[in-house]
Chains A and B, each alone.
Chain A
Amino acid sequence: MRILSHNMLQCIVKGCGAANYPLRLNGEAVHKESEYNEDFIKHMMSKIDYPALYQASQDVKIDLPSSLPEDYLDNEEFLKKIHDVTHIEEGGLYCNNCKRIYPIKNGIVNMLLNENEV
């Protein structure tokens, strides 16, 4: 899973409450080569919740500025850094609120719940 994707995800356990976002990350960041697409990154950054991304990057020890640079749309160095924010292949997402863990194995995130959680 790309660490960027973490930004759109929330805990789905029934009754977890309003604090079901953002999830926390666990695991080792793996770099995967992919084409740098400036258009994509720029559009993505305009909708990303930066504090949540920053926290996720802290969780897996990736170095990002603690706040979104004001000139982020023209800051190529920063955009490339965002592009290089990589993947979690083994590890998990967990909810700070209800402590539910969603395991990531072989790059696949398991979001299936048990019956008592639905």
Chain B
Amino acid sequence: MATVTSGLEHIAAAEIGDAFLGSQVEVQYDRKDYPGRVFFSVSNMTEDSFSILNGLHSVEYVYCLIGRITLQSCCPPPAQPTTTTDDTEQLKSSLQEKEGQEKQSDEGEKVAEKKEEHKKRKKAREDDKRRKKKKTEVDPQLKEKALAEIASAVSIYNETDWETAYGVWKSYARAVKGIRNSEMLSTAIFSVSARTAGSHLFRENEMGETLAASIQTLYPRWRQQCRNSEMEIMAYLRNSELILGFTITQSSLSMSHVSASRDLGVTALKPAIAYAMLRMAQLRPGMIVVDPMSGCGTIPQMGSNIWSHCLYFAGDISEVAVRKTKNNEDSAREEKRRTAPCDVFQWDGTLTPFRDNSVDMVITDMPFGKRIGNKQGNTKLYPRIFQEMYRIVREGGKAVVLTQETELMQSKIISRKTWKDEEHMDINQGGMKTRIYVLSKVNASEEVQDK
């Protein structure tokens, strides 16, 4: 299993499929039930498979699963009807009565009435809080039963399931971290990372502790330690399904391609998202690719590394940003990680030096109006940016943009005369809903046909 940016599951699935081309690979994802997760199985894992894994751009962490099982007793029983609704109804109607009376009463009384009303409302709120507290208190017997099931889940898998997954973890450690067999201790120090999604009778940490204890019973030679553990066992409980596995990768894969020397700005784009945008652009040899608001250059520089058969231009209005882009370009060259160069410009994104119809593809991360700019400014800026893009992009050319301003895009940018929405994809960017659009330039003749 791999964790990915939610919304980009299919991009990751496609990348995994491509990467393991030739070996038998099966990739699955379910955006609704398992957002941000891609499940895949590769037959005949070799050392090469691990270097392929490490080369993935759209994936954060990779886990080797021991198995998935459905549990019976970990979810709370369906809520019983309580008197809550009646109480509030009563309160509401009494308040309404009060309002009715209020109209008739005079000023002085009104103030007193209001005070009383305020008190009543406050009491209602407190009652509500108390009620909520009560709800979270779980029947201890049910909870015990649920945790007992969690504990037993560990031994539901037979020894081979555990040994196979443990074996994969060991060979990854050997291949990537260079740990030799002799250094592999018979007493492995492990930790359990427990995550839950949905409502359960217990907390995440309780589940983790229970699992750790029962793993220790299963493998008496392993030792549990929260910090500095050698291996991490991942437990993910989503509603009633429990997934257990070994954490294979030590750190986020997509971030690992970002050199430590890379100079990042405040709004630096997550590399996995930059990868998705570049992939969606379907770049072909000899294309001219422009990022008119490139910030520290994440998109075009990643592009020039992976799809080195295109000509890339990065530009930004900020001197700090372009200097960072240039530094990144130079350090990449020094570390010999750059296969094709990317030109760096300082320009105004609404006034770029390209000739009309000379660019094949614009790929850019638009200002959201959060960390940079503001919403009001965007309503003026967006039309000007897209007008400029329209001018420089050739007929049949495209623009791939990341934005949070979906309303603005629908109302001001996408139209029958300018840009056609070919494809868009909603993603969850650290809790923020954003969207990648693939827009194609509507050329003049097409528009006439439309009429």
Q: Is the CB of B311 within 8 A of A12?
A: no
A37: Cβ under 8 A from any B Cβ: yes
B36: Cβ under 8 A from any A Cβ: no
Please give, as numbers and ranges, the residues of chain B lying within 8 Å of A118 by CB-CB distance. Answer: 351
> Knowing A21-B355, A40-B310 touch, does A112 contact B339 (C-beta < 8 A)?
no
Of B287, B333, B355, B359, which one neighbours A10 at CB under 8 angstroms? B355
Q: Which of B175-199 contact A (CB under 8 A)?
A: none
> Considering only CB atoms, which chain A residue lies closest to B287 in the complex?
A43
Q: Roughly how many angstroms separate A1 CA and B329 CA in the complex, as a whole number?
A: 12
Q: Is the CB of B340 within 8 A of A40?
A: yes
> Knowing A10-B354, A37-B308, A113-B351 touch, does A43 contact B285 (C-beta < 8 A)?
yes
Q: Roughly how many angstroms separate A106 CA and B358 CA in the complex, as a whole number?
A: 26
Q: Roughly how many angstroms separate A36 CA and B340 CA in the complex, as a whole number?
A: 9
A82: Cβ under 8 A from any B Cβ: no
B161: Cβ under 8 A from any A Cβ: no
A9: Cβ under 8 A from any B Cβ: yes
Please give, as numbers and ranges, the residues of chain B lying within 8 Å of A112 by CB-CB distance. Answer: 317, 346-348
Please give, as numbers and ranges, the residues of chain B lying within 8 Å of A21 by CB-CB distance. Answer: 355
A73: Cβ under 8 A from any B Cβ: no
Q: Roughly how many angstroms separate A111 CA and B347 CA in the complex, as a whole number?
A: 5
Q: Is the CB of A39 within 8 A of B311?
A: no
Q: Is the CB of A10 within 8 A of B339?
A: no
Type the 1/0 row for B337-350, where 1 means its CB is closer than 8 Å to any CB of A: 01111011111100
A44: Cβ under 8 A from any B Cβ: yes
Number of interface residues of B (CB under 8 A): 34
Q: Roughly how many angstroms separate A42 CA and B284 CA in the complex, as a whole number?
A: 12
Q: Roughly how many angstroms separate A111 CA and B317 CA in the complex, as a whole number?
A: 9
> Knowing A9-B354, A112-B317, A112-B348 touch, does A34 contact B326 (C-beta < 8 A)?
no
Please give, as numbers and ranges, the residues of chain B lying within 8 Å of A37 by CB-CB distance. Answer: 308-309, 339-340
Please give, as numbers and ranges, the residues of chain A lying within 8 Å of B288 by CB-CB distance. Answer: 8, 47
Q: Is the CB of A34 within 8 A of B338?
A: yes
A75: Cβ under 8 A from any B Cβ: no
Q: Is the CB of B341 within 8 A of A34?
A: yes
Of B308, B333, B341, B346, which one neighbours A2 at CB under 8 angstroms? B341
Of A12, A46, A110, A113, which one neighbours B286 at CB under 8 angstroms? A46
Of A40, A42, A111, which one neighbours B315 at CB under 8 angstroms? A111
Q: Is the CB of B343 within 8 A of A35?
A: no
Q: Is the CB of B353 within 8 A of A10?
A: yes
Q: Roughly how many angstroms separate A37 CA and B343 CA in the complex, as a whole number?
A: 17
**B131 CB to closest chain A CB, in angstroms?**
61
> Knowing A8-B288, A10-B354 touch, does A111 contact B343 (C-beta < 8 A)?
no
Q: Which of A9-29 contact B (CB under 8 A)?
A: 9-12, 21
**B281 CB to closest chain A CB, in angstroms?**
16
Of A4, A47, A109, which one neighbours B344 at CB under 8 angstroms? A109
> Knowing A8-B355, A12-B351, A34-B339 touch, does A111 contact B308 (C-beta < 8 A)?
no
Q: Roughly how many angstroms separate A40 CA and B284 CA in the complex, as a whole number?
A: 9
Which one of B309, B329, B338 has the highest number of Cβ atoms from chain A below 10 Å of its Cβ? Answer: B309
Please give, as numbers and ranges, the residues of chain B lying within 8 Å of A47 by CB-CB distance. Answer: 286, 288
Please give, as numbers and ranges, the residues of chain A lying within 8 Å of B322 by CB-CB distance. Answer: 108
**B391 CB to closest chain A CB, in angstroms?**
11
Q: Roughly how many angstroms separate A77 CA and B442 CA in the complex, as a whole number?
A: 40
Q: Is the CB of A35 within 8 A of B340?
A: yes
> Considering only CB atoms, which chain B residue lies closest to A111 in the complex?
B347
Type the 1/0 row for B295-330, where 1 means its CB is closer than 8 Å to any CB of A: 000000000000011110101010000110010010
Please give, as numbers and ranges, the residues of chain B lying within 8 Å of A4 by CB-CB distance. Answer: 311
Of B309, B317, B333, B359, which one neighbours A40 at CB under 8 angstroms? B309
Please give, as numbers and ranges, the residues of chain B lying within 8 Å of A106 by CB-CB distance. Answer: 326
**A23 CB to closest chain B CB, in angstroms?**
8
A80: Cβ under 8 A from any B Cβ: no
Please give, as numbers and ranges, the residues of chain B lying within 8 Å of A32 by CB-CB distance. Answer: 333, 341
Please give, as numbers and ranges, the residues of chain A lying within 8 Å of B351 by CB-CB distance. Answer: 12, 111, 113, 118
Pick 21 A–B contacts, CB within 8 A, sort by A. Answer: A1-B343, A2-B343, A4-B311, A8-B355, A9-B353, A10-B353, A10-B355, A11-B353, A12-B351, A21-B355, A34-B341, A39-B309, A47-B288, A102-B353, A107-B329, A109-B344, A109-B346, A111-B353, A112-B346, A112-B348, A113-B348
- List residues of chain A with CB under 8 Å of any chain B CB: 1-2, 4-5, 8-12, 21, 32, 34-35, 37, 39-40, 42-44, 46-47, 87, 102, 106-113, 118
- List residues of chain B with CB under 8 Å of any chain A CB: 284-288, 308-311, 313, 315, 317, 322-323, 326, 329, 333, 338-341, 343-348, 351-355, 358-359
Nearest 10 A/B pairs, CB to CB = A43-B286, A111-B347, A40-B309, A39-B285, A43-B285, A9-B353, A109-B345, A8-B358, A110-B346, A1-B343
12 further interface pairs, Cβ-Cβ under 8 Å (given A35-B340, A111-B315): A2-B341, A35-B308, A37-B339, A40-B286, A40-B309, A44-B286, A47-B288, A108-B323, A109-B345, A111-B352, A112-B346, A113-B348
